[in-house]
Structure 1
């Protein structure tokens, strides 16, 4: 992996392939390894970059007082340093909320948005009682004694995780930093991007697991109704982490969307 420095932090990333840039932004309790099927499959046509967000993977710990806007600024610094903007930007779950904050702060870096099983923040997408239940569950998880901390959130997969990804998922879980996860979930509970959605002026792909119970299809339909230019692709047999549950279907949707809009950009240019 390579790294850049942004706001005094070391930001690690993996970069593969050549072609139009595609930036992958992982969810909470994850890092760039969770995008392995996309890095492997899409590098034949795109320059694919998956970061380890601050506080995850090989990147620096979170500074005190780190806010959602700071995540967006660090992501912007990565794109600018690598000279890849405007790029196709994909975010899964919490990563999609970070990507929306990037659009709010740095829209010039974004050619298209790819929202995968995500939220306009928990506050912006879920009923208040569901947000309270998730916050309570997160506090209980984070209060576990040493040696018993399990960062696996419920409902991530439609059934059992695909066997080929179980060792990878265990390795990622073993590297999760409780302080990072607790801070992320607090930010997620407070985030509300509903005001931003109608102002998104780039083509937006919505990729949603048919069986997602964490961000159900009703959230996808909220995005679809609010954002002016959207395409919704429902991934059959997939849960919340659809990029691992059904990677071939997700890769096909992302490839077709990015190929189409990269071609249109070239033609208009």
Structure 2
């Protein structure tokens, strides 16, 4: 293995994506893939079954322009007059399609809950119609169908600014719920630090899926000394950015190695569908290597521990996989310690892609969050209405 290969190999789980893409063990990994597919067949799970990823229709599709010229791809599902707007921010190397099962499961009356009261019975009982959410999905800068960020603009501050641009465009008024997975959750914390007033006044709920206020443990952060320019991170970024063709060739010639690494880092359960792994692998593999490298420094340096209290008083749902190798469970537990009123649901046996690996649990957790956010927004609106009527009577 070359010196560059050894350097990349020591960088840990995250940068292992780059190392494996270029230096995978072809024969061993191919055998592992075939063994996995055989096990899938024994479980009567078709490895190549297509669950319809990328085939879901949108009610509206448009782009949001950021202040530095990046065009963010946005897709919406749900009525414009919905009681809540829910904005989903995906993770590193992914795109908005990673929310496939939430897009299916949370759309419609009652936030997608099929146990809706019959309309005629509801009218007879004078029960209010169940709330409906407008779901907004977008691709981060340099990901999916969004355009590439200028050099030096692949940072958490820019991601937070992008999220604010999406809020301003998609939901300039009304209550908003933010849901973030991994890097998307980090962007939410960063925006909370940038604009706490926005969270106090407009954000009706926050969903945090397999994310953390810090990417590495404090001791690890001190060792990396990112602020001083850690040479390891510099080498990884420079090699990935300056010589992307090397890694892209490695990806194509070591597909089985990359596929197995993707499965290991994204999922944990032995019976996870091969179709899910295929889709995750396709998302990661179509993210340019230089983009992966550009975001490494901001991921390593991420530390928004001080911004977590800004979510106090806002309905918050924390979803975590207890076998997450990318963002270990203790990251979520630390957030819950600071926000004792937050709810936390743990998907047993699930990995980093919990919203895909255990969509039922994730959707139930988010449905609970949306109901809390809806109730809170309705109560605040009622309080404002009472205050307005009181003022008009001159009392």
TM-score, normalised to structure 2's length? Answer: 0.62
d(CA) in 2 for partners of 1:211 and 1:90? 21
- 2:239 matched to 1:146? no
Aligned partner of 1:15 among 76, 91, 95: 76
The equivalent of 1:194 in structure 2 is: 305
Report the CA distance between 1:94 and its aligned residue. 1.3
The equivalent of 2:139 in structure 1 is: 52
**Which consecutive unaligned segments of at least 5 residues does structure 1 have?**
none
- 2:339 matched to 1:237? no
Contact 1:30 1:176 in 2 (8 A): yes
Kindly name which structure, 1 or 2, has the bigger radius of gyration based on alpha carbons. Answer: 2
Contact 2:175 2:377 in 1 (8 A): no
Contact 2:204 2:376 in 1 (8 A): no
Aligned partner of 2:220 among 128, 136, 153: 128
Distance 1:131 1:179, change over 3 A: farther
Aligned partner of 1:157 among 267, 289, 312: 267
Report the CA distance between 1:127 and its aligned residue. 4.3
SS in 1 for 2:152: coil
Contact 1:26 1:91 in 2 (8 A): yes
SS in 2 for 1:212: coil
SS in 1 for 2:337: helix
The equivalent of 2:180 in structure 1 is: 91
Aligned length: 266
The equivalent of 2:336 in structure 1 is: 224
Aligned partner of 1:181 among 275, 292, 298: 292
Report the CA distance between 1:253 and its aligned residue. 0.6
Contact 1:235 1:249 in 2 (8 A): yes
Query: Deviation string for 1:7-41 (max 9, x for gaps)?
Result: 21111011112331111111101010111111111
Report the CA distance between 1:4 and its aligned residue. 1.8
What is the RMSD of the two structures over their aligned residues, measured on CA atoms? 2.6
Contact 1:90 1:115 in 2 (8 A): yes
The equivalent of 1:31 in structure 2 is: 95
The equivalent of 2:63 in structure 1 is: 3
Query: Deviation string for 1:149-170 (max 9, x for gaps)?
Result: 4596652211354333234223
Query: Deviation string for 1:128-149 (max 9, x for gaps)?
Result: 08985xx969939947533214
Contact 1:199 1:227 in 2 (8 A): no
The equivalent of 2:208 in structure 1 is: 115
Report the CA distance between 1:232 and its aligned residue. 0.9
Contact 2:354 2:362 in 1 (8 A): yes
Report the CA distance between 1:228 and its aligned residue. 4.8
**Which consecutive unaligned segments of at least 5 residues does structure 2 have?**
1-60, 112-132, 225-229, 252-257, 382-395
d(CA) in 2 for partners of 1:198 and 1:81? 27
Distance 1:131 1:227, change over 3 A: farther
SS in 1 for 2:343: strand
The equivalent of 1:63 in structure 2 is: 150
Contact 1:117 1:208 in 2 (8 A): yes
d(CA) in 2 for partners of 1:232 and 1:54? 29
d(CA) in 1 for partners of 2:219 and 2:102? 32
TM-score, normalised to structure 1's length? Answer: 0.88
Distance 1:103 1:237, change over 3 A: same
